[in-house]
Structure formats: structure tokens, C-alpha cells
Amino acid sequence: MNGRQILPVAGQAQVRAYARKTTLRHPGALAAALGLHALAAVAGLAVPWLLGDLVQGVQDGTGIDVPAVVAAIAAFLVLQGVLIRFAVYASSRLGEKVLAELREEFVSRVLGLPLSTVERAGSGDLITRTSRDVDALSRTVRHAVPETMIALVTCVITLGALVLTGPLLMLPSLLAVPFLWISTRWYLKRARDGYLRESAAYADMTDGLTETVNGARTVEALGLRERRHRRTDADIARSWEAERYTLGLRMIWFPIVELGYVVPIVATLVAGGLFHIQGWVSLAQVTAATLYVQQLIDPLDRLLMWIDELQVGGASMARLLGVAEVPEDREAGTGVPDGEELRADGVRYAYREGHDVLHGIDLVVRPGERLAMVGPSGAGKSTLGRLLAGIHGPRTGSVTVGGTPLVELPLDDLRGHVALVTQEHHVFRGTLRDNVLIARPEAGEPEVRAALSAVDAWEWVSALPGGLETVVGSGGEPVSAAQAQQIALARLVLADPHTLVLDEATSLLDPRAARSLERSLAAVLEGRTVIAIAHRLHTAHDADRVAVVEEGRVAELGSHDDLVRTGGSYAALWSTWHGTPS
């Protein structure tokens, strides 16, 4: 259950480097936002200064124009408000822009994940990363990063003002440093791991729930309810434990930080009073300094709060960046296939290390032929099919088309040579046109129409009110399973591979739909090399050659007639099937 972390998590140094790069991606916009915030902070500094003068004036008994001072204070406050408005606008714009870029990057990373890794990693981790982690990161980028910068700028400028007011008066504030420094360091050291654990526990929970929901029937049928309950309870317990841990950290950290705020104000006031009695500082200075220290609390507090949020964001960023660390399972090669011959030489393949499911397969598929693969369930037919379609690379040996290894072909090129046709066919949310164009985005309208016509789908597509522009997929115009399959077939026509690996695509549909689909399918197969994983023997009977796969090996290979004549296991299978009324 846990420890099934197949997708990697990036290291801290990497997260920092990436954060730095991202922050500096738009230096102009960043400088503008920070500059505006700095100006706003400076405008805010005028108020304590003026108040200090006011107090001093009253004490000295010199004539002071109170209305003028009040007017000046009001003016500075308005100025600060206006500056903050533009500063927040500038930093929000920047945040949104960076966020959009991060999202796009992450999406292309996820889409670029090797299929073999996605299959092994399971969906829970990936779903958590794409939902919860992206949300956490967006909070960080939208709010935490700009707020941190603003708080930092405000702190520095206020501290500067404090020093200018009287260096002596800065000393009492130093009392805050041990409180804040030590407690924050203590907290940060533990928080990252705490938050990573939280996310991982959450991923396990998502994983378990997805599995239970998807397999609800199996759970019912096998009476696994108790077991699933226990698993969910355990997941929740672990998630609760992880949340409790980080909450515990905050429970200790927050009160100490609060103390760190109050102590310097009191200290400045007391020490300032003493200094004043000694005649080292004026009353105006003490007033202004105390107000500055008071003014420091807000940005400091925000800074620390957002450091907390930055931790969460950092943990999410580590998980998002980790996706990029998945090693490629394809090597970018430059070979251009010479011809259409698909062949496997000495192919072995293992899903788990040390457990080969294919044991040295040699197979040459002749261009234009129909090759049927038959054999008992679990023999390795689907696995071999996926290798022949270039989805997995072989552990040893090679699968080549026209002499070029499939794993060295970029995916887009590969699909123009060999494609896998299965019963899984997803209709994406979008227009029908876009759904077909997935196969070859640069294709034009006539080609899309021709592809749909080729699979007998143009009739119903053109009858739709929106035609090609009809939105289908979740929430869109409903399409039947057969229509979805036709869309998938139209994609194939557009991609136009010379070889198809077919996992008996129509066997699950109702007979009426199956018949019309078989016509569509036949149109797609026409003129192409076809490797069919046959679940029904009449497919094998009609094929040019039959490969019998048994226990990860090609046990027999030849035409139907030859194999029947030889009297091997295919012959036995055939006579059993043929002998029973169907």
C-alpha cells in the first residue's frame, strides 16, 4: 500500500533552483511589482514620523498646526492605498502568468510520461499530483510568493526607517530575533517532511477509494467489503496522523512567534523611556520607533505565515517536478524506417524484474498479411501485441519496423507506422473535429470528412445539428459505444499506419452494432498489415498465417491449413471448436 511511491519526488535543491528560475522568468514585471510595493511601504512610513513630531511638538509647547499634520497623515494614507492597489494588481498579474506557465509545463510533463510508468504507478498518485498538488502550488504562486516578497520589502524598509530614527532604538527589537529565528528553524526542519507525508497519505487514500469505486462489483461479488473498509480506515488513520503531526508543529511554533512580536514593542517602549531620561533620544524618536516596531509585526507575521504556505507549496512543487524525473523509456533516435516490415528478434519482456512473460520471441510479419495470434489466456498475446505496437520496449532483443527499433521512433512518427487498436476508446471533451484530429492535428477538413466517411460515420456526424463542430465527450452530445469506436477508427484512418495490432475490437458490443462496426473496421484494415489477437477461432481461420502463443513463446506458426495438417495444439483447438456446434 504505502511505499508504492513509483513516481519520484524532486530534491530540495532542485525545487529551490526551479523556484528561482521561475521567479526570475519575467524580471521586468517582477521589478515593477516590487518597486510599487516598496513605494507603498515608504508612504506608510511617513505616518509614525509625523506622529512622533506631533508628540514632540506638544511636549516642547511649540505651536503645532495639528490640522496640517492630520491632513498630511491622511494624504500619505491615501497615497499608500493607491500605491498598494497598483502594486497588488501588478503582482497578481505576474502570479497568474507564472501559474499558467507552470500548469502548461506540468500538463506536458504528465502527457510525456512513459506509458509503462503510468501503468505501474497507478492512478491515485498521479490524480493527487494533478489536483491537490497543483491547487496547493497555485495558492503558493498566486498568494504566498507575492505576499512574501511584499512582506520582505516592507520589513526591510521599515527596519531601515527604524535605523534612521535612531540606531540605539533598534537594539531592543533584537530581542525578537532568538524567538523568531530558533522557533522558525525548528519548525521548517520538520515541516517539509510532514507535508510530504500528508500528500503521500492523501494519495494512498485517493488510490484506495478509486480502486474501491472502480471495482465495486468485484468487491460485492467477492465479499471484500470488510477488507476495503479496513483499508480505507487505515488510510484515513494515516492521513489523520500526518495532519495531526503538522498541526502539532504549528501549535508549538505559533505561540512562540506571537511572543516574539510583543516582546520588542514592550522592550522598545521601556528602553526608549530610559534612553529619553538619559537624554540620548528625543520623545519624537521614541514615539516613531515604537510605532515602527509595531508596524513591523504585520509584514513579519505575514512573512512567517506565508513561509508555512511556501512549505506546502514546496512539497507540492517537489512532487510535480518529480514527474519530470521519470526516466524516458524511449530513446530519441534518428533512424528512418526503410520499408514496412515489422519484426521481433529474440524479444524478452518482464513487467516485474526477474519474471519474464515473453521468452525469446522471433517473428517476422510480412507486409500486407493478416496474422492471427491465438493461445490460452495469460500466454502473452496482449503483451506481445503491445511490444509490436511499440508501447513497451523489449527487455532484450528488438522490435523493428523497416530496420528501425520502434522505441527509437518519436511517438508521433511511430503512430504513422504501427498502431494498436483496442476496445478502449476514449471520446475527449471537445468538438468531433478535434477528436478526430488528435491523430494528425495538421490535417484539413476534407481529410477529416474522408476519414469519417471511410468508417461509415459521416452520415450520423453530418446529421448532428453542429456537424463536425458538435461538442462531444463528458457533458457534450452523447455518443453511443459504437459511435465512439467509429471515432477511434476514424483517427486511425487519419494517422494512416501501414500496420495495425488489433485486440479483437468489436467483441464486446451488441451484435447489431458489431455488424456495422465490422464493416467500419474492415474498411480501416483494408490494404494494411494486420496482427490480430484472436479470441475467436474464425478470425484465425480467415487469416493468412496463425501464430500460436503459449507460455511466452511462439509455439506454432503457419497457415491455418498447414497447422491443422501438422496436428499440433492449434489442430487440437480447431477440432474442439469445430466439433462443437456454435
Which residue, 172 or 380, has its beta carbon nearer to ligand ADP?
380
Task: State which of residues 380, 390, 394, 473 lies at the interface with ligand ADP (CB under 6 A).
Answer: 380
Which residue, 285 or 383, has its beta carbon nearer to ligand ADP?
383
Stretch that binds ligand ADP, among 174-182, 188-196, 372-380, 568-576 (CB under 6 A): 372-380
**CB neighbours of 33 closer than 8 A, spacing ≥ 6?**
87, 90, 91, 94, 146, 149
CB 155, CB 296: distance < 8 Å: yes
Smallest separation (angstroms) from ligand ADP to the CB of 351: 3
By CB under 6 A, is residue 212 in contact with ligand ADP?
no
In what helix (H) or strand (E) does residue 519 lie, and over which residues does it extend?
A: helix 511-525
By CB under 6 A, is residue 119 in contact with ligand ADP?
yes
By CB under 6 A, is residue 381 in contact with ligand ADP?
yes
By CB under 6 A, is residue 482 in contact with ligand ADP?
no
CB 367, CB 529: distance < 8 Å: yes
**DSSP codes joined into one string, 392-452:** S--SEEEEEETTEEGGGS-HHHHHTTEEEE-S--PPPSEEHHHHHHTT-TT--HHHHHHHH
Which residue, 386 or 433, has its beta carbon nearer to ligand ADP?
386
Stretch that binds ligand ADP, among 134-142, 380-388, 455-463, 511-519 (CB under 6 A): 380-388
By CB under 6 A, is residue 504 in contact with ligand ADP?
no
Which residue, 87 or 418, has its beta carbon nearer to ligand ADP?
418
Which residue, 424 or 442, has its beta carbon nearer to ligand ADP?
424
Smallest separation (angstroms) from ligand ADP to the CB of 507: 13
Pattern 398-417, ligand ADP, x by CB under 6 A? --------------------
Q: Which of residues 523-542 bind ligand ADP (CB under 6 A)?
A: none
In whole angstroms, give the CA distance from residue 540 to residue 545. Answer: 8
Smallest separation (angstroms) from ligand ADP to the CB of 204: 20
Task: State which of residues 81, 378, 403, 410 lies at the interface with ligand ADP (CB under 6 A).
Answer: 378
By CB under 6 A, is residue 357 in contact with ligand ADP?
yes
Report the DSSP pairing between strands 370-374 and 545-550: parallel
In what helix (H) or strand (E) does residue 308 lie, and over which residues does it extend?
A: helix 283-322
Stretch that binds ligand ADP, among 16-24, 327-335, 370-378, 415-423 (CB under 6 A): 370-378
The dihedral region occupied by 473, where left means phi > 0, alpha psi between -120 and 50, and beta the remainder, is left
By CB under 6 A, is residue 379 in contact with ligand ADP?
yes
Residue ranges of E strands in 88-236? none
Smallest separation (angstroms) from ligand ADP to the CB of 435: 27
Determine the residue type at 236: I
In whole angstroms, give the CA distance from residue 194 to residue 183. Answer: 16
Phi, psi torsion values for 327, nearest 5 degrees: -65, 140
In what helix (H) or strand (E) does residue 223 lie, and over which residues does it extend?
A: none
Smallest separation (angstroms) from ligand ADP to the CB of 379: 4
Stretch that binds ligand ADP, among 137-145, 229-237, 271-279, 374-382 (CB under 6 A): 374-382
Exposure b/e, 17-33, CB count within 10 A at least 16 = b: ebbeebeeebeebbebb
Which residue, 268 or 382, has its beta carbon nearer to ligand ADP?
382
Task: State which of residues 140, 212, 383, 404 lies at the interface with ligand ADP (CB under 6 A).
Answer: 383
Stretch that binds ligand ADP, among 172-180, 362-370, 373-381, 422-430 (CB under 6 A): 373-381
Number of amino acids touching ligand ADP (CB under 6 A): 11
Stretch that binds ligand ADP, among 197-205, 254-262, 285-293, 378-386 (CB under 6 A): 378-386
The dihedral region occupied by 333, where left means phi > 0, alpha psi between -120 and 50, and beta the remainder, is beta
By CB under 6 A, is residue 382 in contact with ligand ADP?
yes
In whole angstroms, give the CA distance from residue 516 to residue 176. Answer: 79
By CB under 6 A, is residue 264 in contact with ligand ADP?
no
Q: In what order do the strands lie in the sheet with 499-503?
A: 418-421, 499-503, 529-533, 370-374, 545-550, 553-558
In whole angstroms, give the CA distance from residue 212 to residue 235. Answer: 13
By CB under 6 A, is residue 393 in contact with ligand ADP?
no
By CB under 6 A, is residue 62 in contact with ligand ADP?
no
Residues that bind ligand ADP (CB under 6 A): 119, 351, 357, 375, 377-383
